[in-house]
Structure 1
Amino acid sequence: MIGEGGEEPPACDRNWAELQRDVLMVIFLKIGLMEVLRATGSVCRSWRKVAKEEPDLWRSIDMTNHGYGSDAFLLTDPTRLAIDRSGDRLEEFSVEYFGDADLLQYLCDRTSVLKRLCLISCYQLSDEAIAETAKRQPLLEEVQITFGSFSEKVTEVVGKECPQLKSFKLNNTWFSVPPPDPDDDEEVSDDVEALGIAKTMHQLRHLQLIGNRLTNEGLKAILDGCPHLETLDIRRCYNVIMDADMRARCARLKTTRFPGDSVDDYEFEADADREYCSDDEFFPELDYDYYYDYDDDFENYVLDFEDIFDDDDEDDELGYMF
């Protein structure tokens, strides 16, 4: 509304509580998951209602690149709350550092329509936990595992449980992948992971194996066992020799990245090389007391904001954001 003199009213006079649901959805998706969890409930009743009762808002939960480093465990409760709000519509789930068997079980108990799963630096996860998750998510089409403490047989485990798998990423840094233990009773080949892919992932279209120990034999097995493969990324796979025969075998692919190609666009480097919250240039200092009430769980912390709007007889008041 234009006021006297043709001037628009100041922003503070606008009724932000009357924004339409579709507009709020756009706003919430842009500000990020944590801001929706910790802030929108304190604005007004209509904002809180959309944040709590709109499962489409929670179809994708991305808890990576958060900057918490070793304090990532603090994100466990808000992640569970976000899973609860998805209402069995969660299709994409990404977690970094704090993903463990309990969290994945919590996820699988509340959704069975997951299409994309991304696990980064989740060293506490075993083959069994990954296998159980894959088994309970029959619609999975994309799986990414970057850094971890799983065994070489994890590829076969995932491939068996995910028949619709179209994209698979198993990434590491070559120098941090330990060679087989010569004292082991069972001989382990550098191509165990590659052979697991070739044996089970026949519908695969996209494969990324940065920093893998596979050899030419393993790569040949993949190319033979995955006839639908379109893109291949084997950067830092220094056991692969890209001779004329190997390049000829890869010629049918649409996109290829070979062992010596640049990794400048690779989002994840070795954990030892990464900076966490101590580097303000990348991750400004976080006030954890602002995020959490340590005497209660995260759900109760969020509910603390809702007491502001318990009186239905009064108009909504805008919170501190505006």
Structure 2
Amino acid sequence: MELEEPPSCGRDWSELQRDVLVLIFLKLGTMQVLTTAGSVCRTWRKVAKEEPELWRRIDITNLAYDCDCYALKDLTKLAIDRSGGRLEEFSVEKIGDDDLLRYLCDRTSTLKKLCLISCYQLSEEAIVETGERQPLLEEIHITFAPFSETLTEIVGKQCPQLKSFKLNTSWHGKGTTYLSDEEEDNDDALGIAKNMHQLHHLQLIGNRLTNEGLKAILDGCPYLETLDIRHCYNVNMDPDMRPRCAKLKTIRLPNDSLDDVDNISDDYEETYSDYPFVDNISDDYEETYSDYPFVDDDEDGFEF
């Protein structure tokens, strides 16, 4: 007996309602919406380009960097443009520099969260300018950055409404310590204590603060609820320090595991092999997105 082939569902994915598409796109990463999803067909591209809700949170992190970083920076600017001045959260890894932050500030003043990871080309002056131009900033997360001891003082003065602050300036990999336990430095801690009085959440992984610096933070930040001092080996949770930390809802101690820390592991889940077109983008970018036909072309993309 010859089996009949099952009938095709014949579904036209381009006819999905706009609100359904928005819900789907919100579950995708920024790069996936900006490129892959936005290239499927004219309907999907229109939603990807014209729905500001998709661009209130831009996350360009946890991507392997084996492609043209200039092209990635240009795509990040395009995502900023699509936010329509309503960007609230911006996270970037490696490609963040003064130019990108100024581009961001020129196009929005509604930022509430800024996350910078391994942005070695970024200056403290750009951080100051961003604080001045983003009056709604409540969260700043900085990991692996070559800033001076005055950074916490600068950030605290420029962002008086700061509720969450992360400064992971030194990394201790699993089984490896890159700082000597004898190196003590409370400059970061004192800057926080003197200028971040509204803090609710603080993370200082790998910092060189001592008990003196931690006491200053606990005294100067009366609203502090969570504290993460993993790999801060100069802190000794002695009988005097433990009662001081008892008011906190959550505390992560120096010897606690780092397995749950984001944006640190080299085992990236996403790589640029998912975005083969990035390597083919011209370096001759002149403030126009005409070099990105897969993003802005009005012709239909793939057909279902």
2:254 aligns with one of 252, 259, 264? 259
2:39 aligns with one of 42, 45, 55? 42
Measured in 1, the distance between the counterparts of 2:247 and 2:120 equals 36
Q: Is the 8 A contact 2:281 2:292 kept in 1?
A: no
Q: Is the 8 A contact 1:43 1:320 kept in 2?
A: yes
- How many percent of aligned residue pairs carry the same amino acid? 63
Note if 1:274 corresponds to 2:269: no
Residue 61 of structure 1 corresponds to 58
Q: Secondary structure at the match of 1:62?
A: strand
Select the structure of larger CA radius of gyration. 1
My pick for the range that moved more, 229-238 or 47-56, is 47-56
* Matching of residues 154-233 of structure 1 within 5 Å: 154-171=151-168, 172-173=170-171, 175-176=177-178, 190-233=185-228
Q: Is the 8 A contact 1:96 1:122 kept in 2?
A: yes
* Matching of residues 55-94 of structure 1 within 5 Å: 55-68=52-65, 71-94=68-91
Residue 302 of structure 1 corresponds to 292
Q: Secondary structure at the match of 1:143?
A: strand
Q: Deviations over 1:102-139 (max 9, x none)?
A: 00000000010100000000011121111111111110
Residue 26 of structure 2 corresponds to 29
Measured in 1, the distance between the counterparts of 2:192 and 2:252 equals 18
The gaps in structure 2 that reach 5 residues or longer are none
My pick for the range that moved more, 74-83 or 42-51, is 42-51
Q: Is the 8 A contact 1:38 1:291 kept in 2?
A: no
Flag the 1:31–1:268 CA change in 2: closer, same or farther, 3 A. Answer: closer
Cα shift at 1:86: 0.2
Measured in 2, the distance between the counterparts of 1:67 and 1:255 equals 32
Q: Is the 8 A contact 2:128 2:158 kept in 1?
A: yes
Cα shift at 1:251: 0.6
Q: Secondary structure at the match of 2:26?
A: helix
Q: Is the 8 A contact 1:121 1:147 kept in 2?
A: yes
Measured in 2, the distance between the counterparts of 1:180 and 1:107 equals 40
Measured in 1, the distance between the counterparts of 2:275 and 2:85 equals 32
Cα shift at 1:30: 2.2
Measured in 2, the distance between the counterparts of 1:296 and 1:125 equals 23
Residue 233 of structure 2 corresponds to 238
In the alignment, residue 320 of structure 1 is paired with which amino acid?
F
Cα shift at 1:26: 1.4
Measured in 2, the distance between the counterparts of 1:231 and 1:162 equals 19
Measured in 2, the distance between the counterparts of 1:320 and 1:225 equals 57
Q: Secondary structure at the match of 2:166?
A: strand
Q: Which has the higher contact order (CA 8 A, sep 6+)?
A: 2
Cα shift at 1:304: 5.6
Measured in 2, the distance between the counterparts of 1:179 and 1:258 equals 15
Q: Is the 8 A contact 2:186 2:210 kept in 1?
A: yes
Q: Is the 8 A contact 1:198 1:225 kept in 2?
A: yes
Measured in 1, the distance between the counterparts of 2:61 and 2:94 equals 8
Cα shift at 1:38: 1.9
In the alignment, residue 239 of structure 1 is paired with which amino acid?
N
Measured in 2, the distance between the counterparts of 1:150 and 1:129 equals 11
In the alignment, residue 263 of structure 1 is paired with which amino acid?
L
Q: Deviations over 1:110-169 (max 9, x none)?
A: 010100000000011121111111111110111100011111110111111111111000
Q: Deviations over 1:244-281 (max 9, x none)?
A: 00011001111011111222222344xxx8367xxxx8
Alignment TM-score, normalising by the size of structure 2: 0.87
Alignment TM-score, normalising by the size of structure 1: 0.82
Measured in 1, the distance between the counterparts of 2:275 and 2:293 equals 19
Flag the 1:282–1:22 CA change in 2: closer, same or farther, 3 A. Answer: closer
Q: Is the 8 A contact 1:43 1:321 kept in 2?
A: yes
Flag the 1:77–1:170 CA change in 2: closer, same or farther, 3 A. Answer: same
Measured in 2, the distance between the counterparts of 1:99 and 1:91 equals 17
Q: Give 1 or 2: higher helix fraction.
A: 1
